[in-house]
Amino acid sequence: MNTHEIFQLSQWLLLAVLAVAWLATLLRNRGLHKALQQQLDSQQHVQNFMSSMSHHLRTPLNGIMGYAEYIHSSSKEPMIHFTSKIILENSLEMLHLVNGMLDIQKIRDGNLQLSESEFDVYDLLESVRELHQPRATRLNITLQLSTDQQTTLKIKADPYRLRQVLNNLVDNAIAFNRPQGQVTLLLSHDTSAGTLTFTVNDTGLGIPQDVQKNLFTRPGDPSSHFALRRKEGAGLGLVLSHQLVKLMGGQLDYRTEAGVGSAFFFTLPVQKTPSETAAA
């Protein structure tokens, strides 16, 4: 075999190797694409399933809560009165969990819309304090509201979502606190910047370093030492609150110190109502 024939044979071998490599790459890319599509389909299937289950769970939960509330209010028997209260409280907690799952899914899908209306922010804060006061008293925790002493401040925002965030933060502050601890719901109003800053302070144990990195991104791991100290809840509150605050134009943040406590705070741009603007 002469040199020319050897050169031609080398070229054909090179082309064959390149063809095999191209075919292998094509097959591999198709396999990756198929695997990726299967993964996306699986995620969508899980999301659809969770959304469907959440919707279907609310109907029986509302029925359980209705009957439990009726029994609790009508029965004079101490044991029945006590057990119906436990059923009602746990059903309500589960309903909050289901609603939280639905809200997170709506935000991820871009389907959650704010519903703005006119309301007094101080009345809203007082209603949040009144809601959590019985539980705080039962756990020997001082719950107080601190504002800049204004008697009224009407703004235009989404009162339901704002109340939802504050309820989550106050609920966490009470749950992670210690006996004879203190929780403060603080509001500061910056008139020049047109913003309201909401802060929830507690005197709990602080947030461990290993938990902080995922605090706003995923629910707490049940095996976490921090999560084990929580008597109730599944860790959805902070994840949902972070996304809701972002949707309202703010940013939820925190500071914490081991053995001293934590503070969660966010600043929202607010739109005064025409009546408040005229009064100012």
pLDDT one-digit tens code per residue, 19-49? 666 666 666 667 666 666 666 556 556 566 6
Three-state secondary-structure class, residue 76: coil
The whole-number pLDDT of residue 52 equals 63
DSSP label of 149: S
Q: What is the pTM of this model?
A: 0.68
d(CA 262, CA 200): 8
**Phi, psi for 232 (deg, rounded to 5):** -155, 160
**Between β-strands 271-272 and 154-157, what pairing exists: parallel, antiparallel or unpaired?**
antiparallel
- Tell me the three state secondary structure of residue 183: strand
Q: What's the pLDDT score for residue 200?
A: 96
- Mean pLDDT, consecutive 10-residue stretches, the chain (280 aa), reads 56 60 66 63 59 66 76 81 77 73 75 88 92 88 86 87 92 89 93 91 89 73 41 65 92 91 92 56
Q: Are strands 182-190 and 195-202 parallel, antiparallel or unpaired?
A: antiparallel
In contact, 146 and 184? CB cutoff 8 Å: yes
CA-based torsion, 272, 273, 274, 278: positive or negative:
negative
Q: What is the pLDDT of residues 103-129, one digit of tens each?
A: 777 777 777 888 899 999 999 999 999
Q: Which two tokens stand for residue 89?
A: 């409280």
The reported pLDDT for the residue numbered 103 is 77
* Rounded CA separation 210/167 (Å): 25
Distance CA 238, CA 249 (A): 17
Tell me the residue ranges of DSSP E strands in the chain.
117-120, 142-146, 154-157, 182-190, 195-202, 253-257, 261-269, 271-272
Contact 239, 216 (CB under 8 A): yes
pLDDT in tens, 48-62: 665 566 666 767 777
Task: Specify the amino acid at residue 231.
Answer: K
The residues, ordered by sequence, that sit 6+ positions from 163 with a Cβ below 8 Å of its Cβ are 124, 127, 128
pLDDT of residue 173: 93
**Residue 175 identity:** A
Provide the CB-side half-sphere exposure for 259 (13 A, CA): 0
Q: Which residue has the tokens 């599509």?
A: 37
pLDDT for position 82: 78
CATH superfamily of 117-279: Histidine kinase-like ATPase, C-terminal domain (3.30.565.10)
Rounded Cα distance, 204 and 272, in Å: 35
Q: What is the DSSP letter of 215?
A: T
Task: Check: CB of residue 266 under 8 Å from CB of residue 197.
Answer: yes
